[in-house]
Amino acid sequence: MTKIFISACVILLGVGIIGGAFLYVSHEEKIDNGVGEPRKEITSFMDCVEAGNAVAESYPRQCNTPDGKHFVEDIGNELEKTDLIRVSNPRPNQTISSPLHVTGDARGYWFFEASFPVTLVDANGNVIPLEPGYIMATEEWMTEDFVPFEAILEFDSLPAGQKGTLIFHKDNPSGLQENEDALRMPVVFGGPGETDATNGCVITGCSGQICADQEMATTCEFRPEYACYENAVCERQAGGECGWTQTAELIACLETSINVNL
């Protein structure tokens, strides 16, 4: 009887140690380096990046966690549609605001009557009205080659940081489902204006060509030289006013565009 009792105690003690160890490990998994704050569960590419893990600069980018989780950045279906439509601005996961300057090129048969529809939806799939709701070709579109397109899209601002999808639809006048196609691009809403938090300057104007302290209304007429501002730096100048930094690249681009347009 004594031996049985001792054996039972040993078994219970073993179970208690194992259970205690399990609870300790479970608790340790929930705290961050002994600080006592819960670790954020990594369930997406951005979670992985924000946790400080290394990112492989492939396209799309990839991120691995120390415990073996693997995440790939969502770029929509861009790679599947690259031989049909190519968008140069915006790019996947870019922060956008209204007015949005859209540029790129697409096969001539992506258009009908020199245009194709575009829609913007939020993370819940709700359609955000765009003005206009289409994108126009800027050259002859009746060809199978790539044709450049451009548009200035205006929409109501959403809270900064919210995600959405910009959808470039192949025009389908037949209405037949087999003729439908679309490029889906994930985007992030930046709220009103594209504000640079470091200097308070805003890229504004209907054609996105003005660098100012606040949003401004301008004509929606587009000129070729406005494209030069896509990669230009909008920042506060020595005099305290917002303006474009006159780099050699910007000056050369403007001179070339204006000369071509003469």
pLDDT in tens, 68-109: 899 999 999 999 999 999 998 888 888 888 888 899 999 999
Query: 221 versus 116: which is more confidently predicted?
Result: 116
Q: Confidence class of residue 255 from pLDDT cuts 50, 70 and 90?
A: confident
Query: 57 versus 255: which is more confidently predicted?
Result: 255
Q: Is 208 left (phi over 0), alpha (psi -120 to 50) or beta?
A: left
Averaged pLDDT for residues 43-67: 85
Average pLDDT taken over every residue of the chain? 80
Within a domain: residue 33?
Answer: no
Q: What pLDDT is attached to residue 24?
A: 38
Domain residues for the domain of 98 are 74-192
On whether both 152 and 227 belong to a single domain, the answer is: no
Within a domain: residue 97?
Answer: yes
Question: H/E element holding 261?
Answer: helix 248-261
| Domain final position from 192, 225, 240 | 192
147-156, 165-174, 194-203: segment of lowest average pLDDT: 194-203
pTM: 0.61
**Distance set, CA 220 to CA 13, 93, 167, 233 (Å):** 78, 25, 22, 22
Within a domain: residue 28?
Answer: no
| Domain final position from 148, 172, 192 | 192
Distance CA 168, CA 182 (A): 5
Distance CA 209, CA 205 (A): 6
**Contact 148/164 with Cβ under 8 angstroms?**
no
On whether both 85 and 187 belong to a single domain, the answer is: yes
Averaged pLDDT for residues 171-188: 95
On whether both 64 and 171 belong to a single domain, the answer is: no
Query: 198 versus 219: which is more confidently predicted?
Result: 219
Amino acid at 217: A
**Contact 165/76 with Cβ under 8 angstroms?**
yes
On whether both 134 and 242 belong to a single domain, the answer is: no
Averaged pLDDT for residues 186-193: 76
Angle at 119 between CA 126 and CA 204, to 5 degrees: 100
On whether both 182 and 79 belong to a single domain, the answer is: yes
| Domain final position from 192, 215, 231 | 192
On whether both 53 and 152 belong to a single domain, the answer is: no
On whether both 82 and 182 belong to a single domain, the answer is: yes
Number of domains in the chain: 3
On whether both 79 and 69 belong to a single domain, the answer is: no
Q: Is the pLDDT of residue 37 over 60?
A: no
Q: Is the pLDDT of residue 228 over 50?
A: yes
Token representation of residue 49: 């990046």
Q: Is the pLDDT of residue 208 over 50?
A: yes
Within a domain: residue 106?
Answer: yes
